[in-house]
Amino acid sequence: MDHQFWHTRWARQETGFHEGSVNRYLHDHWSELTDRGHETVLVPLCGKAKDLWWLHDQGHPVIGVELSEIACKDFFAEGETRAQVHPGQPFTRFSHDNLELWCGDFFQLVPDDLRHVRLVYDRAALIALPPSMRADYVTHLNAVLPDQASILLITLDYRTGEMKGPPFNVSDKEVYQLYEPNYDIEHVLTNTLAKDHPFARRKGLSEATESVFRLRRRAGNRSD
């Protein structure tokens, strides 16, 4: 999935992935990941998700990373908040209070950027990437995240070939293959979306499943 694909999606407002409200799995399961509510959170491939505001409102400093400048600008405009803009390379940073959107390529992050991050929220990031990019995504995440980090990961699975991603189908087995070498994995839940669920119907799927995982990194076990 090249950058132009996403720039075109944003320019044409083809953003069906944008929920427009707080994700229910985030709302229901975030508290199981945090004891203090004040750890810095990374939201990779964040779009303009309302989830960023919700995390901020819980008291977390938040860093969202997003390729599209349209998404970054829309995020603050729709939140009726004026952001300070700090142009730069490889990221232009939009900030308000301790909520920052870094506009640029996730793969340009370096460990020093994320030295304060303890938690990661991944909704529609891993599943936005085709199979060939997913291992690189996890390898890069491992390379830039501090040792103590935990992740709330939400995935989607459906029968291969029933639709053309994104979102791509990521099986539970693949989650274990990608993360088990470095993380303790807790499979929190699976929710089946039947054929007549609006998402399944819209995409022509016979069925889909959403899964939620809690991943805790094992200290001192870096694969980078």
Ligand X SMILES: C[S@@+](CC[C@H](N)C(=O)[O-])C[C@H]1O[C@@H](n2cnc3c(N)ncnc32)[C@H](O)[C@@H]1O
145 secondary structure, DSSP code: S
Three-state DSSP at 206 gives: coil
Task: Name the residues that contact ligand X, by CB under 6 A.
Answer: 6, 17-18, 45-47, 49, 65-68, 71, 105-107, 123-125, 128, 166
- Our CB check for ligand X shows the closer of 175 and 196 to be 175
* Nearest approach, Cβ of residue 17 and ligand X (Å): 4
* Nearest approach, Cβ of residue 20 and ligand X (Å): 9
- Our CB check for ligand X shows the closer of 105 and 147 to be 105
- Our CB check for ligand X shows the closer of 65 and 215 to be 65
Three-state DSSP at 74 gives: helix
- Our CB check for ligand X shows the closer of 47 and 221 to be 47
Residue 93 to residue 105: CA distance in whole angstroms: 12
* Nearest approach, Cβ of residue 102 and ligand X (Å): 9
- Our CB check for ligand X shows the closer of 71 and 114 to be 71
- What is the arrangement of strands in the sheet containing 62-66, beginning at the earlier edge strand? 84-86, 92-96, 99-103, 62-66, 40-44, 117-123, 150-158, 207-217, 183-194
* Nearest approach, Cβ of residue 126 and ligand X (Å): 10
Residue 152 to residue 213: CA distance in whole angstroms: 6
* Nearest approach, Cβ of residue 221 and ligand X (Å): 25
Nearest to residue 60, comparing CAs of 85, 78, 84, 35? 35
